[in-house]
């Protein structure tokens, strides 16, 4: 049936009648020869004047999956070492920072070890991991090793082995020596390379690596879920190329998360039940086998250390402050010769070691600490193991000491210096909101109290709270240096403070919270912050007068007091001991400064709210589960609360 007959001629407008009249003629024209494309099937760049060559290849893995790999080779390279990074964040983006004939601008940006790469004549290789961007295969967040959590025959260890094997066989410009380095997720992948290292792998540099997602890296801290990471999970898993972006309809993340209710409700409003990793998180809120079997410090503790490794840790890492030092503890006993494991720690944010390191937030260090690290630690380490240069004169630990703003060469960690040791010293929380090294005595008040209201949680930084982001408009990377005065003035935060110090107080290691606390609820979170309170006036930097700088802080979810894998309801009004380690610090409280310890029960929306009523799964708590609770921090002789500081003598 023709269109005109089916519509009826009276239904046709003049415009439609004209279009139908011309349609047959248009069809006849389409059958004839068309204009040839002006675009070549493959454009060949005229790159003869470039100082490097660029190759894009698909390297086959043992299961047939091919991984997109970009190889940048300096012109005239001969016997050049290979520096590899494997990434879920687009190899193309990381090797296209500028349209330039020069390798430096092409790599500048995220890959700010560019100065080292260009000057050192390295062959730079960046590869998309399986399932992301240009690579084939299926994506699994932090794909576990082959075994109970991964029934396939491939993992990041095998993919790294296969990649290195291909590179040394197909790059005649190389000397056959390969190093692997990366930050965060890209830092987790070098750890995977250590599981079964290829013989050509000669140096491994995990920077701020994701190690244990439950104990203290990206997903949980001591059982409390890091709610603001929902956006990362959403964007990372929704599409192969991170094409979908997390969306919001409010300016302040505090409002977004509070109005949603539970974290599970917010995720559901974004359709996140479609994402496999999110479902796994909600199914494993406790530290069960799912988390334990993929914790990289535990994985590597069961294997020999065969490749020289430089671990890099940031003292102000807002994302992976747990991982590097956990791996250090696991691997140090395996370094029997003392020449295979090294640690560098600096006053940086997450990944700050590849940026400009003379300051962070309000802190001024008087030197570019990141550049010093790259030149004086990273470069000698890579030159020795990848270029056959003379043995690097590196101490086991290169640690920047905040407060004095001094680099220290240490024989071990934690230890203050040659011939010195660290002693755990209790700093007691006393009546009247005092901090003292003297144990509490009988008499006086037994506790300090506050009311924790989930409807009005304590913000983790001044509002409005930005989402997690790394563009210049965001200050997420600096929040660990935020002034804590706003929190100390709230009625739902206890702020214990010492007298001004008469002598320097040097700490080097992990502070340990020993909190004796009770709640009127059946579950509770406990946040403990160790803070350096500056004098009321600071010469040369007046804005630092009275500043309250966090030195170390973390959160503990009360239901896990008796075991990480066995959540249990708390008995209301019963004083219980909560003992947990805080992130490591290497800091000096200067004379005239004071030691403050803050205690609170919400840190929002960085961490999801505890309903303070025991429920089977906090991700799916109902609105009626969120209830006020009175929290008491005890300080009597038999119930002493304190923070054990690692005091260096």
- Considering the domain architecture, whether residues 332 and 197 belong to the same structural domain is answered as yes
Is 207 inside any structural domain?
Answer: yes
Asked if residue 304 and residue 285 are part of one domain, the reply reads no
Q: Which domain holds residue 625?
A: 422-648
The verdict on 297 and 402 lying in the same domain is yes
- Asked if the model's pLDDT at residue 5 lies above 80, the reply is no
The verdict on 152 and 275 lying in the same domain is: no
| Residue 5 is assigned to a structural domain of this protein | no
pLDDT at 257 over 50: yes
Q: Domain check: are 498 and 539 in the same one?
A: yes
Res 502: pLDDT: 98
The Cα–Cα gap between 113 and 229 comes to 27
pLDDT at 21: 46
> The domain that contains 507 carries what CATH number?
2.60.120.260
Q: Percentage of residues in the chain with pLDDT exceeding 90?
A: 86
Same domain, 466 and 489: yes
Q: What is the CATH number of the domain that holds 230?
A: 1.10.3020.10
Q: pLDDT digits over 272-303, tens only?
A: 999 999 999 999 999 999 999 999 999 999 99
| Residue 44 covered by a domain | no
- At 349-381, the pLDDT tens digits run 999 999 999 999 999 999 999 999 999 999 999
> Both 196 and 180 in a single domain?
yes
pLDDT, mean of residues 481-493: 97
Q: pLDDT by residue (tens digit) across 7-60?
A: 344 444 544 444 444 444 444 444 557 899 999 999 988 888 999 999 999 999
Q: For the chain, how big is the Rg over CA atoms in Å?
A: 28
Q: How many CA atoms lie within 13 A of 222 on its CB side?
A: 24
Cα of first residue to Cα of last residue in the chain, in angstroms, is 96
Number of structural domains (the chain) is 3
Of 410, 445, 472, the residue that ends a domain is: 410
Residues 284, 305 share a domain? no
pLDDT at 19: 45
Lookup result for tokens 């600071």: 538
Helix, strand or coil, per DSSP, at residue 186: helix
Q: Which two tokens stand for residue 463?
A: 């509002």
The domain boundary residue, chosen from 289, 310, 335: 289
Q: Any idea what the CATH number is for the domain that residue 102 is in?
A: 3.40.50.1820
HEC readout, 278-318: HHHHHHCCCCCHHHHCCCHHHHHHCCCCCCCEEEEEECCCC
- Asked whether 330 and 299 are in contact (CB, 8 A), the reply is no
**Final residue belonging to a domain, choices 257, 289, 321:** 289
Could you tell me if residue 589 is inside a domain?
yes
Is the pLDDT at 495 greater than 50, yes or no? Answer: yes
Region 495-522 average pLDDT = 98
In the β-sheet with 123-128, what is the strand arrangement from edge to edge?
52-60, 66-74, 123-128, 80-87, 174-183, 201-207, 309-314, 341-346, 397-401, 406-410
Least confident among 42-51, 457-466, 475-484, 567-576: 42-51
CA distance 433 to 447: 10
Could you tell me if 238 and 156 lie in one domain?
Answer: no
285 and 300 inside one domain: no
Q: Which residue has the higher pLDDT, 9 or 146?
A: 146
Q: Are residues 362 and 261 in the same domain?
A: no
Axis-axis angle for helices 323-331, 185-193 (nearest 10) = 20
Phi and psi (nearest 5°) for 466? Answer: -75, 155
In a domain, 91, yes or no: yes
For 529-539, write each residue's pLDDT tens digit: 999 999 999 99
Higher-scoring residue by pLDDT: 185, 107: 185
Both 464 and 386 in a single domain? Answer: no
Specify the pLDDT at position 48: 87
Say how far apart CA 375 and CA 125 lie, in whole Å: 21
pLDDT for the residue numbered 11: 43
Does some domain include residue 601? Answer: yes
Within a domain: residue 31?
no
Q: Is 45 inside any structural domain?
A: no
Mean pLDDT computed over 447-456: 98
Residues 381 and 166: their CA atoms lie apart, in Å, by 24
Q: What is the pTM of this model?
A: 0.93
């Amino acid at each position: 049936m023709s269109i005109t007959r089916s519509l009826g001629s009276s239904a046709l407008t003049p415009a439609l009648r004209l279009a139908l009249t011309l349609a047959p003629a248009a069809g006849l024209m389409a059958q004839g020869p068309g204009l040839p494309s002006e675009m070549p099937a493959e454009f060949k760049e005229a790159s003869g004047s470039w100082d490097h060559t660029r190759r894009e290849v698909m390297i086959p893995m043992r299961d047939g999956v091919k991984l997109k790999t970009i190889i940048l080779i300096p012109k005239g390279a001969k016997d050049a070492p290979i520096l590899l990074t494997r990434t879920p964040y687009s190899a193309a983006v990381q090797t296209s920072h500028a349209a330039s004939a020069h390798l430096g601008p092409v790599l500048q940006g995220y890959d700010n070890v560019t100065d080292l790469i260009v000057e050192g004549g390295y062959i730079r290789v960046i590869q998309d991991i399986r399932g992301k961007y240009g690579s084939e295969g299926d994506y699994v967040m932090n794909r576990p090793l082959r075994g109970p959590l991964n029934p396939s025959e491939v993992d990041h260890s095998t993919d790294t082995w296969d990649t290195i094997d291909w590179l040394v066989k197909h790059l005649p410009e190389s000397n056959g020596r390969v190093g692997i380095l990366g930050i965060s997720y890209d830092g987790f992948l070098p750890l995977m390379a250590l599981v079964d290292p290829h013989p050509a792998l000669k140096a491994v540099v995990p920077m701020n690596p994701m190690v244990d997602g439950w104990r203290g890296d990206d997903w949980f801290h001591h059982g409390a879920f890091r709610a603001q990471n929902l956006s990362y999970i959403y964007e990372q898993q929704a599409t192969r190329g991170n094409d979908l972006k997390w969306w919001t309809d409010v300016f302040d993340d505090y409002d977004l998360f509070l109005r949603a209710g539970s974290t599970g409700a917010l995720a559901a409003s974004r359709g996140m039940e479609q994402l496999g990793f999110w479902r796994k998180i909600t199914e494993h809120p406790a530290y069960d086998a799912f988390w334990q079997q993929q914790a990289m410090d535990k994985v590597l503790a069961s294997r020999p250390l065969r490749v020289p490794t430089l671990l890099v840790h940031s003292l102000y890492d807002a994302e992976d402050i747990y991982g590097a030092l956990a791996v250090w503890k696991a691997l140090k006993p395996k370094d029997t010769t003392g020449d295979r494991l090294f640690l560098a720690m600096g006053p940086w944010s997450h990944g700050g070691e590849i940026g400009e390191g003379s300051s962070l937030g309000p802190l001024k260090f008087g030197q570019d600490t990141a550049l010093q690290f790259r030149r004086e630690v990273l470069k000698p380490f890579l030159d020795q193991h990848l270029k056959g240069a003379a043995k690097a004169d590196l101490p086991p630990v290169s640690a920047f000491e905040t407060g004095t703003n001094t680099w220290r060469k240490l024989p071990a960690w934690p230890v203050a210096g040659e011939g010195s040791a660290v002693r755990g010293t209790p700093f007691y929380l006393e009546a009247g909101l005092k901090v003292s090294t003297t144990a509490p005595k009988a008499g006086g008040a037994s506790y300090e109290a506050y009311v924790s209201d989930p409807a009005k949680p304590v913000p983790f930084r001044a509002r409005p709270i930005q989402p997690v982001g790394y563009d210049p408009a965001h200050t997420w990377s600096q929040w660990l240096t935020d002034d804590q005065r706003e929190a100390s003035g709230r009625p739902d935060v206890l702020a214990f403070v010492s007298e001004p110090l008469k002598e320097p107080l040097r700490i080097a290691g992990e502070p340990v919270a020993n909190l004796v606390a009770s709640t009127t609820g059946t579950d509770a979170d406990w946040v403990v912050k160790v803070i350096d309170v500056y004098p009321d006036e600071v010469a040369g930097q007046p804005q630092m007068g009275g500043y309250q700088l966090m030195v170390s802080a973390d959160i503990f979810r009360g239901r896990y007091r008796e075991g990480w894998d066995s959540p249990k309801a708390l008995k209301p009004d019963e004083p219980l001991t909560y003992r947990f380690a805080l992130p490591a610090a290497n800091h000096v409280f200067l004379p005239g400064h004071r030691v403050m310890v803050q205690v609170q029960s919400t840190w929002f929306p960085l961490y999801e709210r505890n309903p303070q009523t025991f429920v089977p799964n906090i991700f799916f708590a109902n609105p009626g589960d969120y209830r006020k609770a009175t929290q008491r921090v005890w300080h009597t002789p038999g119930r002493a609360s304190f923070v054990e500081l690692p005091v260096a003598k």
